[in-house]
Amino acid sequence: MRVESMPHDLSGFEGESLGLLLFEGDLDGINCLGDLASEVRSRAELERFTGNKESFIKATFPDGRIKRVILAGLGKREKATPDAFRTGAALVVKEAAKSGAASLALATPTAPDASVSQALTEGALLGSYSFDRYRSKKDEPETKIKQVMVAGGDEEALNRGALFACGQNYARDLANEPANVINPLTFSGEAQKVAKEVGLECTVYDESHLQGMGMNALLAVGKGSAIPPKFVHLVYRPAERSAKRVAFVGKGITFDSGGLNIKPDEHMRGMKGDKMGACNVLAAMRTIAHLRPPVEVHGLIGLAENMPSGDAYRPDDVIKAYNGKTIEIGSTDAEGRVTMADVLSYASKLKPDYIIDMATLTGACIIALGGYMAGLFSNDEDFARDLLSASSRSGERVWRLPLDDERLRKRIDSPIADVANVGGRPGGAITAAMFLQEFVEEGIPWAHLDVAGVDNYKEPFGYYAKGATGFGVRLFLEWLYSII
């Protein structure tokens, strides 16, 4: 799908489909349609369309200069965020596609600024996403929308929105792939392929390298699988020497059976999605290579398959991580944090200005925040504030949780090792984040996003399709732009 700008004046526009986004109670915005305004307003009044958020109606004019007009509601003007425009654009694109449209114009009564232009582009591309490559009979409409024109759109913002959305859709594709397709070997191969295509540095460390490096935690998690673990280090370097260096860390458990602490059947389904943090890192690095920001960015991915076998790591095992700290294993199903221990330790050695990690880490975070918001943990107030601000722009909602409860921290004390990998169910998302913090060097601003609740949606809504979400890709990119 191509997204481009067109003149904002709609009075003479001719086309097969036009989506007009309106605030609640502001039907005067229909006047921008010129000679069609009166009839469209009559249709809106007949259908009692008022512009409520996520509402829409369609008016068809077979012999008119515009064949179909779709009105979409943004909700109250005073509560509007970029996400309202993102969602509105997605709804219009879906409805136009159902009608067989191949092209679509998107408009607002007044010319959109840069943030709205970007949001409209993201909504159009994200809303048209589907994953059905393994279905003989496709779910998508026979006609795909190939062109979207944003009336009065800011060209630079449209291009940025297209790159951001394509990054998230790439992460969705990768995360939706089943474990018999994507495993540590094939994922690392995909990373090498992407790096070659877009001009990133890429180093893949195999089992023998990991042993020599002392990445015993990552090795332990992958021991039970016939497919050995991998560690991927991607680097984007700007044309000129950068004053800032960022490390982006992703959890890449390509399938999580729970290991010897095996999951029950109802919890094992969907565990192909335990790699979404890694998918987000690769997607973001791919996008960064096109955006060319003046910041050095390292993408670090620990890849393993957590399986039970005679070689699998066990409860009560003690493992020495990359930074020398020892971990007592309380549960092999708390494998993500063990994997991340090595990768975060490695990230710290790079002496970055910031470390941010994304991981489908804990079911406890879902219990705490529900299934539509990620948990944010950080050791730095300014960093946390900036990420919350980026979240408000990207529409990927996060809520900050604490790291300063000293009594809760005692739950991951171990009598025989430096730290235990589980601390019980109460505050489980917090103790998991506290565990990760043990592997980040003091003085480095660090943030952890627990995306376990938002990695996959069972029902479509807004600009999300059923399946993997790629939640967090655009948040990271929005934050990265904020520090330039």
Torsion of CA 216, 219, 223, 226, to 10 degrees: -160
**Nearest one of 372, 347, 387 to 455, comparing CA atoms:** 372
CA distance 361 to 31: 50
Q: Beta strand pairing status for 103-107 and 230-236? A: unpaired
Whether 53 is catalytic: no
Whether 337 is catalytic: yes
One of 223, 337, 393, 411 is an active-site residue; which one?
337
Place of tokens 């068809």: 60
- Quick check: 253 and 339 in contact, CB under 8 A? yes
Please list, in sequence order, all residues whose beta carbon lies within 8 angstroms of the beta carbon of residue 261, skipping any fewer than 6 positions away: 315, 331, 332, 333
Q: What does the DSSP 8-state code read for residue 32?
A: G
- In a 13 Å sphere around the CA of 428, the CA atoms on its Cβ side amount to 17
- Quick check: 8 and 111 in contact, CB under 8 A? yes
One of 244, 263, 320, 466 is an active-site residue; which one?
263
Residue type, 357: D
Query: What string of DSSP letters covers 420-457?
Result: ES---STTHHHHHHHHHHTTS-TTS-EEEEE-TTTSEE
CA distance 280 to 290: 16
CA distance 452 to 446: 19
Chain centroid to CA 147: how far? 24
Query: Treating both helix axes as pointing N-terminal to C-terminal, what angle do 155-176 and 276-291 enclose, rounded to 10 degrees?
Result: 150
CA distance 278 to 250: 4
Residues with catalytic annotation?
263, 337
